[in-house]
A and B are shown apart, each in its own frame.
Chain A
Amino acid sequence: MKRLPPISGEWIDRHQPVSFTFEGETIPGYQGDTVSSALWAAGRRVLGRSFKYHRPRGILSLANHDVNTLMQDGPKLNLRADVVPVEPGMDLMAIHTFGGVQGDRATVLDRLSRFLPVGFYYKAFLGKNQFPFWERVIRSITGLGAVDTTTPRLRTPKRYDFCDVLVIGSGVSGLTAAIAAAEAGADVVVVDENARAGGSGHYQRGDDGERSRQTAALVAQVQQHPRIRLYTDTTAAGYYADHWVPLVHRDYIAKMRARAVIVAAGAYEQPAVFRNNDLPGVMLASAAQRLIYRYAVQPMERAVVLTANSDGYRAALDLAAQGVTVVAVVEMRSQPVVTDPVRAVRDRGIQILSQSCLYEARPNPGGDGVASVVVCPLDADDQPQTGFTQTLACDGVVMSVGWAPTANLLYQAGVTMRFDETVQQFVPDRLPAGILACGRVNGVYDWEEKQRDGQRAGLAAAHRLGLVDTAPSLERAIAPECPSHPYPMMAHPKGKNFVDFDEDLHYEDFIHAVQEGFDNIELLKRYTTVGMGPSQGKHSNMNALRILAHLRQLPPDAIGTTTARPMFHPVPMAHLAGRGFMPERRSPLHNRHAQQGAVWMPAGQWQRPAYYHQPGLTRQACIQQEVMAVRTRVGLIDVGTLGKLELRGPDAMAFLERIYTGKFSKMKVGSSRYALMVDESGVVIDDGVVARLAADHVYFTTTTSGSARIYRELSRLITMWQMDCGIVNLTGARAAVNLAGPRSLSLLQPLTNVDLSPEAFPYLAVRQGAIAGIPALLMRVGFVGEWGYELHVPADQGQALWDALITAGKHLGIRPFGVEAQRLLRLEKGHVIVGQDTDGLTTPYDANLGWAVKMDKPFFVGQRSLQILKQRSPKQLLAGFTLPERFQGNPPQECHLVIHKGDIAGRVTSIGYSSSLKRYVGLAYLQPELTAIGTEITIRLTDGSMVTATVAPTPFYDPDNHRQATVSREEAFV
């Protein structure tokens, strides 16, 4: 193993050495190396340990599916050494070892493998009492890398991107397609997961510089083309509806919206299956060629090449050209097509063992590399003639027996694939509009033919966009040779002939799984876990499918493939999350609350003051003080989060009649009314206040959580019913406060030109005027049970209003109050909060809101259902209750249950301590027979203890509404 002399087109920069540590040892490398290439150059062969048996593993693909060589670098886990570039200061450990790659103490599992066949874990450790122990054992040995729970959150940007044609893969066919589409006028983006463009044209040379020169020329043409953007180091993570493809770069995600997508993603080289095919030093031919031409690393010194196509001969030539002794080319085919590379290998005098296979590789004494291989001739039925083996000494094996299409995104795009016997591969059959494929993924392997295929795909994409008039024919030429062996697998009595390297599944595991009845490709996958490891079957699914087809004696087409789900390669959660946008709304009065010490509570997208913190006071004390300020003086609450809607037009009142349960047509201009909304099934969904400002003009509120939803639904109903009125959502455009308390009148009158005298402005009246010079809507409301005004002003003047009221109210003892105090105040009045005292199935009758339902009108949403529901005896009714005046101990809490005769008989929905009434008051759903006033009910607390309460009439406070009828002389003129 050594670094080769400079090679034309190598990716490493020899002027920029980069060193890092691997398991404590300093490893030299160059800028442009990957971790695996640097380690290989440094002579390291064991780069990781396998998942199940902890076998030593080295380089397999060097193409982002060497998942047995995952590394940990501090907080970064499961780094793929085969593709992660080296960086100075990296401090790498192989994951999943007990004591490092060399001294892994878990290698004992390899010797126990015969006791651990496929699915063994379903058949053992299953005792109810034993499993928890075994699960702990299992969890301690599984799991790959470790998370560092102190890692801070990363926020990587995401962005949207757009193009006409997205080409995935920058091999020769992708490059040609991109040029063809761009020449026709399309705006083209080419992505490739590799650090540089060019694909296999760069490294599958066969010791012939011509292909790499042609490739370099295509790359240069693409780079210089004004209509092509080339994104390297970028993975197309998946295909989603309407040509939506997230492109993952190490620093960001770009969500690409294309008008057409050309998949030129190539093919994954597939391993041959023979005993010990996982030893370090056994690698795919493309991996060896990548090592040479990208990183100038000699893959091995003495190689045996196992092949079933011309690519293997090219690899043999590439190895030989770099001074590797090619011991033999083992040719699996009985009648190989004699191509130029075959001739060149012959001419070089390299031994070719025809119609033979590798029966097994044998480990060196250390068990960490290859010492020799056992070659075995094949009979006419491709069966190994084990009586005629020969052993060849070597330190490496190169496998070139076939390919599987990189069709993941094609499957996701809904492409139907068919198995093409002539190329022994699934190829696209029916492609949805705007999806194209070219090159190896399309079953085209010949060099010139790949360029023609790319040209065809590029023009077809341009045609789809209307840039060229005629559509090119998409017929593929007949392949000169089959690139893939139909069954490159050798059974072996001692096993360890691996099919899936992620999951350590050997050949026999599949036979056993099928024997147990898992003979459908999906069941086989789920039982064996083939393809479920981090590489998602890129090197294993096709061989598993071939085994199943072989065992069931069916063609691969009849077996079908498993679904290829996104992600193409695993994507970090930070990338997917991006910056993490979470929209938040702020009341125009937000900073006023903050200045007053608001303690916030979330309310949908809003933050509302729960209460205002007073130094030295508890939460409860603060809330009680706020309540008493309203009851005895004056309080101010921000109610701007309520939905605020305006409706105008000749049909405005008729529309209200249809959406609310109440009656509004005869409401006087200048008055307001409670309004209740139910859905079509009669369930309470919202409430608010309707204010009539003119004959054809109303202003009304919705709950905070309902505002967007209700506005949207009312807009739909206006559209559907074709009513002549217009609705405007003023929720964000208006600030609103409720000024409440016996001194509210005397506070407000000096600030406004509206006559607030009880005669001129009675309870539930509505007026428009100015407050402190601010145009305002004033409503006399009583939600909290005191004389008060809801004031609505333009949002940009909300703070001015607030400041004016606070200033004017200083000498009256004004106090801002929060949601908690408001809840208590309204509870004293027995007012229902939709969403707290109702749930997803509550009808108005259940919630004692029948009074707000007027059935004697022609129609409203939910009316017909309420007619049905009204006939039924309700299961539960909302009722008030109180605790004794001097109640000691823990009070019930909301949602504690009412227990009657040992059964659940109800539930508390609201409860609070009323300072005014000197007792706890609450609302609860109760079985109807428990709702008579004076009935004693039993509420069970969290600890199981019982509290007795008494059913009481509501409102608890000021039942006759005296507080709204008169304002005492003393309070009015403080």
Chain B
Amino acid sequence: MKLMTCPINGQRPISEFFYGGELRPMPDPATADDATWADYIFNQNNVPGLKQEWWCHTPSNTWFIAERHTLTDEIQRTYLYGSQVLEEVSP
């Protein structure tokens, strides 16, 4: 089974983790038009590649960010949200 490293609890089988979806910025709801908003709600950046994703280590309820390649399943690194420069998040 695939291993993932929780920044707090260390390396565990991926069955201990919950996938929370891609980390993606929300447009400002006050200024976004309906089409922009619907695009945010439904459409995905679904081309495979290296993505920043929310993951949760469920036994400890620890949420963190994993950089994972969605073609190879390779996890490049994991870190707590906010502990890395957020400008790295590609829009």
Contacts and interface: CB of A to CB of B under 8 A. Distances in A.
A681 interface: yes
B8 interface: no
A864 B32 contact: yes
B1 A241 contact: yes
Contacts of A859: 29
Interface string B1-41: 11100000000000000101000000001001010011001
A716 B37 contact: no
A720 B81 contact: yes
B32 A712 contact: no
B74 to A, nearest CB: 10
Contacts of A863: 29
B18 A681 contact: no
Contacts of A864: 29, 32, 37
Contacts of A711: 61
A863 B32 CA distance: 13
Contacts of B48: none
A413 to B, nearest CB: 13
Nearest to B58: A712
Interface residues of B, number: 20
Dominant SS at the B interface?
mixed
A802 to B, nearest CB: 30
A752 interface: no
A719 B63 contact: yes
A632 interface: no
Interface in A697-712: 711-712
Contacts of B81: 719-720
B2 A242 contact: yes
Contacts of B38: 868
B82 interface: yes
A240 interface: yes
A865 B18 CA distance: 26
A868 B18 contact: no
Interface in B42-60: 42, 54, 56, 58
Nearest to A246: B1
B54 to A, nearest CB: 6
A60 to B, nearest CB: 36
A221 to B, nearest CB: 33
Given A242-B3, A716-B54, A868 B63 contact: no
Interface string A576-598: 00000000000000000000000
B71 to A, nearest CB: 12
B63 A715 contact: yes
15 contacts: A240-B2, A241-B1, A241-B3, A242-B1, A244-B1, A244-B2, A680-B41, A681-B41, A681-B42, A716-B63, A729-B61, A864-B29, A868-B34, A868-B37, A868-B38
Interface of B: 1-3, 18, 20, 29, 32, 34, 37-38, 41-42, 54, 56, 58, 61, 63, 73, 81-82
Q: Considering the complex of A and B, which 10 residue pairs feature the smallest CB-CB distances, nearest first?
A: A864-B29, A241-B2, A242-B3, A719-B63, A716-B63, A244-B1, A681-B41, A864-B37, A868-B34, A719-B81
Interface of A: 240-242, 244, 255, 680-681, 711-712, 715-716, 719-720, 722, 729, 859, 863-865, 868
Given A240-B2, A716-B20, 10 more contacts: A240-B1, A241-B2, A242-B2, A242-B3, A680-B41, A712-B58, A712-B61, A729-B61, A868-B37, A868-B38
